[in-house]
Amino acid sequence: MNEKTTYEIMKNRELLKGYHGTDVGAEPTDQAQKLPSISCLKDRKEASAIPLPTEFQKLPITTNLWDLIGRRESRRKYNDERLSLLELSFLLWASQGVRKMAGHKNPVTFRNVPSAGSRHPLDTYLFVNQVEGLSKGIYHYLPQDHTLEVWEARGDYDEELTRALCGQTFASSAPVLFVWSAIPYRTEWRYSLKAAKYILLDAGHACENLYLACESLGLGTCAIGAYDQDSLDELLGFEPGPSSEKDYECAVYAASVGKLS
């Protein structure tokens, strides 16, 4: 291992560490300086949105946690059957659904997954191939009212998505691909330099809830960390490259979902 690689590994390892005594006297966070935060919820892009059904009692959900944890595994082979809109709705609710909100100007959300300081830096995007009631396209989840908006009405993204996922065709051709993005400043406002660690932990919480929710419905899912950053960000319409803007957004995690073969 050469010196440059060793240095980069050492630098990345610092993300894994928590608080140090040397943190005393560091620059105050934006929250401590009473600077305005940004919302943990994105504004709706379009005037209209697609309401998601919530009659989850109609789903054949397995609730035995012992069984769910014991059976949980990554599954990459799916059949051609469509997901129902109710199934997709349940997966979105389980992985990022809002239970309640507090505050007015910049409301705090309490969701079905934990988040450091309840900052919830993640947004959920869907590449939909086979879901009843939805046309093929790219969608964005609006957790505040549990709806979907069309992010981009195009169904010709197959080759671009496969390239962005480093050739993982099982994921690009899955009935649904979840992609979680991060808007880092939501967390940086409170935690400054420690935010990157917490954001990645938050992504893990969301994905594990997706795993358990899929398992409870007899669906398969597979987490994906291998993707080309620039290609996936471009496909989702995010600004390329590093940025210091408070609304900067980038993809951080993905997961394919489908019915089992």
Q: Where are the beta strands (DSSP E) in 108-198?
A: 108-111, 122-128, 137-142, 147-152, 176-182
- Is 239's pLDDT higher than 90? no
* Lowest-pLDDT choice from 14-18, 139-143, 166-170, 174-178: 14-18
Coil, helix or strand at residue 235: helix
Coil, helix or strand at residue 90: helix
Does residue 206 belong to any structural domain of this protein? yes
- Determine the Cα–Cα distance for residues 94 and 208; give it in Å rounded to an integer: 10
Does residue 28 belong to any structural domain of this protein? no
pLDDT bracket for residue 126 (50, 70, 90): very high
Does residue 23 belong to any structural domain of this protein? no
**Residue 149, class by beta-carbon neighbours within 10 Å (0-12 exposed, 13-18 middle, 19+ buried)?**
middle
Does residue 26 belong to any structural domain of this protein? no
pLDDT bracket for residue 171 (50, 70, 90): very high
Does residue 72 belong to any structural domain of this protein? yes
Does residue 12 belong to any structural domain of this protein? no
- Is 24's pLDDT higher than 70? no
pLDDT bracket for residue 19 (50, 70, 90): confident
Backbone angles phi, psi at 252, to 5 degrees: -130, -15
222 lies in which domain range?
Answer: 35-259
Report CA-CA distances (Å) from 233 to 120, 204, 236.
19, 19, 5
User: How many domains is the chain built from?
Assistant: 1
What pTM was estimated for this model as a whole? 0.95
- Enter the tokens of residue 192: 């400054």
Q: Taking residues 19-30, what's their average pLDDT?
A: 75
Does residue 25 belong to any structural domain of this protein? no
CATH code where residue 106 lies: 3.40.109.10
Does residue 126 belong to any structural domain of this protein? yes
